[in-house]
Structure 1
């Protein structure tokens, strides 16, 4: 049994979801558009792979939606995974910033870019 949670769960009924095996076997939704595995980054389903119709979130929803992975066993793991994901995003942004400024540190680049009239 899952532990209680302080954050809200998806309003989508579990009875409408397909089984893990049905989701793995599916190549097309009911529309019949092709479906590819995706990864959820919401706190409710963090890191879980799923397949869903490409128009699942639009007004003319198709209800094709299924997880490929089981839920994390407790909220502890969900928060741990969430924090690791957030830290990974921060590190990627820092690396991207460093690449944009070259190999020098951002403070070195700031000094190099001071207009000569101020130097």
Structure 2
């Protein structure tokens, strides 16, 4: 199955869980609005951005499981987060800033993986650039 919008298409597999489908839909939305950042973000001067303690990133929440009618009490949302620790392969510990409080996701608990394009629940990505 495929999801399409404004000339962009994303493949959805039969075994994708709702987190993966939501992440692909979010990716497609970012593609259609023109705000999808490049896969390898760069700093001024052309060096690839690396997560460091204190940097602001975006965390993708999981949302709540779908109800029997397919709706969710809370959908996956992009949230502001601060990097609190850095592991290997762009896995980081985060302090996620939610409207109702903070959530800590440490490296000891598995950390958060970098996903610039798919943006699955529980992952982080660099903030979109405006203008």
Looking at both structures, which has the greater relative contact order when contacts are Cα pairs under 8 Å and sequence separation is at least 6?
Answer: 2
How high is the TM-score relative to the length of structure 1?
0.24
Q: More strand per residue: 1 or 2?
A: 2
